[in-house]
Amino acid sequence: DAKTTQPNSMESNEEEPVHLPCNHSTISGTDYIHWYRQLPSQGPEYVIHGLTSNVNNRMASLAIAEDRKSSTLILHRATLRDAAVYYCILRKGGLGAGNMLTFGGGTRLMVKP
């Protein structure tokens, strides 16, 4: 299975943009890139996903490199409530693909006031 690599932790100042990187050099053509985050004492929460093109939603933006070997989750204005562990996950697409998410260690984002 393709693997993702993320920094263990990052710090950000409140109200500043945050760029969370993820490397996935062994990604296959049918792998979708998903991001979930887990706030303290909560279950994971879906953030965004994409395949090839950059994606935007109300929570964040996802920038995918042209070769798809890396991606970046962008939080446009970090708030204290964004302090969480952010997981970059590859999920197989296509018929017969598995439905489980394979979480790695994630990046712990700390937001300073």
Give residues in contact with another protein (CB under 8 A): 32, 41-46, 49, 85, 87, 91, 93, 98-106
Alpha-carbon dihedral sign for residues 76, 82, 88, 92: negative
> Judged by CB, which is closer to another protein: 17, or 105?
105
Minimum distance, C-beta of residue 59 to another protein, in the bound complex (Å): 11
Whole-angstrom CA distances from 21 to 1, 8, 82, 107 are 20, 11, 16, 9
> Judged by CB, which is closer to another protein: 18, or 89?
89
Minimum distance, C-beta of residue 21 to another protein, in the bound complex (Å): 17
Per-residue burial over 22-47, b if 16 or more Cβ lie within 10 Å, else e, is bbbeebeeebbbbbbbbeeeeebeeb
> Judged by CB, which is closer to another protein: 13, or 46?
46
Minimum distance, C-beta of residue 63 to another protein, in the bound complex (Å): 20
**Distance linking the first and last C-alpha atoms of the chain:** 39
> Judged by CB, which is closer to another protein: 98, or 113?
98
Minimum distance, C-beta of residue 16 to another protein, in the bound complex (Å): 26
